[in-house]
Homo-oligomer: A and B are copies of this chain.
Amino acid sequence: MRWTDIGDEQCSIARTLSVIGDRWTMLVLREAFLRTRRFDDFQRRTGAPRPLLADRLKRLVAEGILERQPYGSRSDRFEYRLTEKGVDLYPVIVSLLTWGDRWMPGESGPPIELQHKACGRSMHPELACPECGEWVGARDMLATASDR
Contacts and interface: CB of A to CB of B under 8 A. Distances in A.
A61 interface: no
Interface string A42-77: 000111000000000000000000000000000000
Interface in A73-92: 85, 87-92
Interface residues of A, number: 84
B12 A105 contact: yes
Given A11-B112, A15-B104, A145 B34 contact: yes
A113 B147 CA distance: 11
Interface of A: 6-17, 19, 21-24, 26-27, 30, 33-34, 45-47, 85, 87-106, 108, 110-119, 121, 123-148
